[in-house]
C-alpha cells in the first residue's frame, strides 16, 4: 500500500518503471524477468493460475480449449458425491475465511445433512 502513490505517479502516469520495486536484481530495468529465473519461484508449480498470461480471460472458448471445466465434467459424469468430497479432502483445500476451515469437512457435514 505504501508504494501505490509512487507506482501510479511514475509508472501509470509517466510510463517509467519504479526500479526499486523490480523482482530480484536486473541490469535491464525495461525487461521483465521470468519467475522461473527467480530461485524462490523456480520450483513452484502454478495450479489455479496456470493459464494466467496464456489465455484471454474473457474468452470462454480459449478456456475450454485449455481443459477448462474438465474437472467439473469429471465430477458430474464419472464421480459419486462421496468421491468428490474425498478428492476435496485429499487436496487439503481450505476456506478463505479467517479460520481456513477445510472445505472437504464442510462438504462432508453438508452431505450428511442432505
Q: For residue 112, what is the enclosing H or E element? A: helix 103-113
Distances (CA, A) of 32 to 2, 25, 69, 105, 108: 22, 11, 31, 42, 45
Would you say residue 3 lies in a domain?
A: yes
C-alpha cell at 11: 509508472
The range of the structural domain enclosing residue 16 comes to 1-31
Q: How many domains does the chain have?
A: 2
**Lowest-pLDDT range of 22-26, 35-39, 102-106:** 22-26
* Three state DSSP letters for 40-109: HHHCCCCCCCCCCCCCCCCCHHHHHHCCCCHHHHHHHHCCCHHHHHHHHHHHCCECCCCCCCEHHHHHHH
Task: Give the pLDDT mean for 22-35.
Answer: 63
For cell 464442510, name the residue: 106
Would you say residue 50 lies in a domain?
A: no
Would you say residue 61 lies in a domain?
A: no
pTM of the model: 0.57
C-alpha cell at 95: 476456506
pLDDT band at residue 104 using 50, 70 and 90 as cut-offs: very high
Would you say residue 36 lies in a domain?
A: no
Task: Give the pLDDT mean for 57-81.
Answer: 95
In three-state secondary structure terms, 5 is: helix
Would you say residue 97 lies in a domain?
A: yes
| pLDDT digit string, tens, across residues 50-63 | 888 899 999 999 99
Would you say residue 15 lies in a domain?
A: yes
Would you say residue 48 lies in a domain?
A: no
Amino acid at each position: 500500500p505504501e508504494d501505490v502513490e509512487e507506482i501510479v505517479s511514475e509508472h501509470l502516469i509517466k510510463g517509467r518503471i519504479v526500479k526499486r520495486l523490480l523482482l530480484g536484481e536486473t541490469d535491464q530495468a525495461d525487461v521483465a524477468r521470468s519467475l522461473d529465473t527467480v530461485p524462490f519461484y523456480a520450483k513452484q508449480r502454478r495450479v489455479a493460475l496456470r493459464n494466467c498470461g496464456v489465455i484471454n480471460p474473457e474468452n470462454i472458448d480459449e478456456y475450454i480449449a485449455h481443459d477448462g471445466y474438465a474437472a467439473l465434467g469429471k465430477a458430474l459424469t464419472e464421480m459419486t458425491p462421496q468421491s468428490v468430497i474425498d478428492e476435496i479432502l485429499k487436496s487439503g483445500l481450505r476456506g478463505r475465511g479467517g479460520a481456513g476451515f477445510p472445505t472437504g469437512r464442510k462438504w462432508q457435514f453438508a452431505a450428511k445433512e442432505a
